[in-house]
């Protein structure tokens, strides 16, 4: 499968796009960004300088992935999601002079393999979204998210667990069970892990 870049997209010659990756209308992919195979960058989305994106990741329309974000494999970034990169944002310094790229140090958001971030959610750097976690639409993530965590609200709080199929897990005895696949998980303090009974 060949890489596809829409004629209206702005993709730097210094970006690296994996085989089968598609960049759609009005999207921008900056210098030194690296996208794995079979990624999708939707209409009007932005991928910042040096951002690292794993294979099979989808970045939906108008999402903003600011550097130095790191996205794992199979990540879903919903429409109009924002991954921030400035802890103390200011347009000007204390003296009123316009700040430039040398006046601050960007910090990134990390999204681990399989995680999904719903439409218009905001992840405030520096946070890590654990593998296979789900962030609900419109949530604002200000703290690290555990693997398989289901997060909602402003600020986001964990309201349950999700499995790899994306469906909320149901508690059965000592396990959390995926209704779609039957996979069992075990709660371990503030985190979740797959049960050895699945093997």
CATH number at residue 92: 2.160.10.10
Regarding whether 130 and 39 lie in a shared domain, the answer is: yes
* Four-point Cα dihedral 136, 139, 140, 144, nearest 10: -30
Q: Give the ranges where 6-47 is alpha helix by DSSP (H).
A: none
The whole model's pTM is what? 0.95
φ/ψ of 40, rounded to 5, equals -125, 125
Regarding whether 191 and 157 lie in a shared domain, the answer is: no
Q: Is the pLDDT of residue 160 over 70?
A: yes
Overall number of domains in the chain: 2
Residue 178 confidence (pLDDT)? 95
Regarding whether 124 and 96 lie in a shared domain, the answer is: yes
Q: What is the mean pLDDT of the chain?
A: 95
Residue 108 confidence (pLDDT)? 95
Regarding whether 170 and 158 lie in a shared domain, the answer is: no
By the 8 A CB rule, do 85 and 105 touch?
no
């Amino acid at each position: 499968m060949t890489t596809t870049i829409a004629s209206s997209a702005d993709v730097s010659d210094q970006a690296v796009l994996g085989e089968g990756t598609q960049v759609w209308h009005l999207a921008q992919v900056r210098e030194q960004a690296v996208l794995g195979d079979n990624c999708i960058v939707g209409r009007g989305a932005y991928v910042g300088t040096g951002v690292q994106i794993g294979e099979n990741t989808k970045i939906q329309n108008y999402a903003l992935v600011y550097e130095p974000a790191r996205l794992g494999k199979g990540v879903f970034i919903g429409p109009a999601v924002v991954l921030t990169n400035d802890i103390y944002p200011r347009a000007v310094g204390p003296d009123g002079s316009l700040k430039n790229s040398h006046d601050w140090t960007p910090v990134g958001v990390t999204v681990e393999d399989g995680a999904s971030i719903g439409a218009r959610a905001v992840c405030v750097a520096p946070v890590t979204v654990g593998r296979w976690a789900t962030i609900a639409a419109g949530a604002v993530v200000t703290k690290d998210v555990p693997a398989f965590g289901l997060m909602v609200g402003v600020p986001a709080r964990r309201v349950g667990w999700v499995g790899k199929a994306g469906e909320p897990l149901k508690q059965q005895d000592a396990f959390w069970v995926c209704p779609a696949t039957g996979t069992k998980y075990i709660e371990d303090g503030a985190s979740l892990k797959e049960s050895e009974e699945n093997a």
